[in-house]
Structures are given as structure tokens and as C-alpha cells.
Structure 1
Amino acid sequence: MAELSHHDERRRAGKRNSRMAIGGLVIAMSMVGVAYAAVPLYQAFCQATGFGGTTQRSAGNPKGMIARQMKVRFDSNVSNELSWKVQPAAPVTDKIGAVDTVNFVATNYSDKAVTGQAIFNVSPDRAGVYFNKIECFCFTEQTLQPGETVEMPIVFFIDPELDDNQELDTIQEITLSYTFYAIDNQGS
């Protein structure tokens, strides 16, 4: 009888160990899944809420304009790995809701074709959800040939619903900032 109970204990211990191993494997696989999903989920969250100054994409402005004006400033930074100079667009002051077009000017100072892309944010962060881009060079990679200079347009508007947000009543200026970085392809 002692042998049977010892055998039963080992079998139960083996089952517990198997359940623990399977549970650990499920947890590990879940963590890997969450890690892969984190970036797209974070991007979706930022686009929906404007968190971190994330702007919105739009096909146009169906809401019209309001009398309140807003100044939009533009800023550019270029990573050291990218041999470009990028001149930001001049500031624009217009009615909220007006669709405006501005151009950044980029020049490739290297002796080879270089591909780059830009990431962006809006300051103050709370205004990001109201900043809508219809067209922007930041949506795609840009390849500049040696010595090439190009204009890179941004077509945008500020959603008139910004005026309904009491936290933004005193905001008179928004800054759209781009950081350009090299994409490792085509010899860049």
C-alpha cells in the first residue's frame, strides 16, 4: 500500500509539473503576442486620442471654418545618419478649419541616393487630436538623389471642435515638428 501511495504521489506531482509547464508556456506565448500587438495598438490609441501630439488623417474638412485664428509653426530635425538639410515651412496664421498647404524643402548633400522618412508630433500635445493632415510627406519614404532638392508638401487643417475644448481656450499657437531619419535601403 505504501508503494501505491508513493506511486500516486509521483503521478500527481508529474501532473502538477505538466500543468505548471503548460501554464508557463501559455503565459510566455501570451507575452510574446502582446509584445507584437503593442506597437499597432499604441499607434491606434494615439491616433484616436491625439496622445503624444499624434495628428489625425483626413480626406478633407467637412466641418467648415470658425472665426478664431490659430498660428501653426513648423520645425524640423534631422538625425545624424541622414545627410539631408530640411528647411521647415514658414509659419501660417489662418482661421481654424481653413485647409492650408505648406512646403518643407529637403536637400540631399551626399553623393548617393538616400531614403528617409519623418516622424512627427504636435505641441501642445492636447492639440494633436485636432490637427488633421490631408496630405503629408511623412506618410511615405522619400528618396532623394545625390544633390537633389525637393519640396515636400503638407496639406492640413485644424478641426473646429478644438474651440469646444475649454482646456485649449488660451492656445493661440500649435507647432508641428518633424524628425527625419534614414531608412536602410538603396545604399543609404
Structure 2
Amino acid sequence: MKMTPGKMALSLVGVAIVMVGFSFAAVPFYSWFCRVTGFGGETGVATAGSDEILDRTMTIRFDASLDRDMPWTFRPAQREMEVRIGETALAFFEASNPTDRPVAGQAAYNVTPYEAGGYFDKIECFCFTEQVLQPGETVMMPVSFFVDPEITRDRDASGTTTITLGYTFYEIDLPEEYASLAPQAQPGALTAPLEGAIDTY
């Protein structure tokens, strides 16, 4: 059936609206997509550490990056560590807000190689919640994790010797309790974190 010019224009407008919607929802949509499909080396989440700890070790490397519009600085406190498979480990990432305004961020993350993602289990992580840094504030953000011993019984992942955990921070809208403070922020006026200003997990 031939589409009239009016219907074609309406369809194009509809496509444009959908594309704009996806652009605003890119970070949460990507995170949801990874959780459902496992794409991008999505990690596992655990409520407690492993009951089994092996003698075999795994090298864990850490990577940090920022979205083009994110004004923070962000880096891993350690470039790599060696952990026993099943052992609970703790790593830190350092984030700073050099601007004169509060900035909120949300971290997207992935693991490589992808086949190891499902065996990299986080117990606590700053990426689970949005983060808010005050002007001039620097924080150390922890991630507690272990490598599931089941990785050694997976034909595709058992040969893995090194896992890289990477985070990218994106700027997001300030929560309401911080948004009201943003217009009043002056350079250097607020250098200490407010009580409860950041949830480190």
C-alpha cells in the first residue's frame, strides 16, 4: 500500500521522537540490556562472598573513563591486583569534582573478556547508585568483589587468567535535594562534603 505524504511525515516524526527518547535513556537502557542479555561482559551481583576459595589466582585489572560531557576526574586507585578465585577483594576508584557546582554521576560498567563477566560477582559497588560530588570534593569509591569458582568449570571461560573491570561515569540530573543548592554554589565556597552527600556503595 502506497504511503501518503502526510502519513510518511507522521512516521518520520514518530521515529525522531523514539530516537530522542533513546538518547536520553541511553545509560539505563544499556545497563538493562546488558543485565538481560549478558552483552558487554555484564557482572554478577552477590549478597555475600564465596564459600569456596581456590589456590588458583586471577589478575584483575581496573580501567576508568568519563563520558565526553562529564566534568569529573576519575581513576582507579590501583591498576591491577592478584586475587585467589573465590576470595573477596576490595578495590577503590578515586573521583574528583573540580567545578564550582555539585555534579551527579552514574557509572556504567563492563568486564572483559565477556565470557568471564557472569563469574565476576560484586558484593558492594559505587555503581549501584547515583553519586553526587560537591564542588572541590574528592572521594574514594570502593567495589567489593570475588571471582566465582564456577569459572574454572566453564569450558569457554576456564582458561581466563586476567579480567578487566571498567567503569565509565556519565553526568546525570542532580537529585532534588542537591538541585536547589546548585545555583547558590560559588567557587571554593563548599569544599567539604555535606553529611550524607554521597552513598559510597
Q: Normalising TM by the smaller chain, what interval? A: 0.7 to 0.9
Distance 1:44 1:73, change over 3 A: closer
The C-alpha deviation readout for 1:56-84, integer Å capped at 9, x for no partner, is 11111243211111000010111122111
- The 5 Å alignment of 1:65-144 reads 65-90=53-78, 91-144=80-133
After superposing on structure 2, the runs of 4+ consecutive aligned residues of structure 1 that deviate more than 6 Å are none
Name which of structure 1's ranges 122-131 and 168-177 shifts more when overlaid on structure 2.
168-177
Q: Could you list the runs of 5+ residues in structure 1 that have no partner in the other structure?
A: 1-31
Report the counterpart of residue 169 of structure 1 in structure 2: 158
C-alpha distance in structure 2 between counterparts of 1:155 and 1:169, whole Å: 22
SS in 1 for 2:40: helix
TM-superposed deviation, 1:184: 2.0
Distance 1:78 1:70, change over 3 A: same
User: 2:76 is aligned with what amino acid?
Assistant: P
Distance 1:103 1:61, change over 3 A: same
- With normalisation by structure 1, the TM-score equals 0.73
TM-superposed deviation, 1:165: 1.2
The C-alpha deviation readout for 1:141-182, integer Å capped at 9, x for no partner, is 100000100010000001000000122233110000001000
- Alpha-carbon RMSD across the aligned residues, in angstroms, is 2.1
Q: Could you list the runs of 5+ residues in structure 2 that have no partner in the other structure?
A: 1-17, 23-28, 184-201
- Residues matched between the structures, number: 149
- The answer (yes or no) to whether the contact 1:65–1:96 under 8 Å persists in 2 is yes
TM-superposed deviation, 1:43: 4.9
Percent of aligned pairs with the same residue? 43
State which structure, 1 or 2, has the greater radius of gyration over its C-alpha atoms: 1
- The answer (yes or no) to whether the contact 1:51–1:129 under 8 Å persists in 2 is no
User: 2:116 is aligned with what amino acid?
Assistant: A
Q: Do residues 150 (structure 1) and 160 (structure 2) align?
A: no
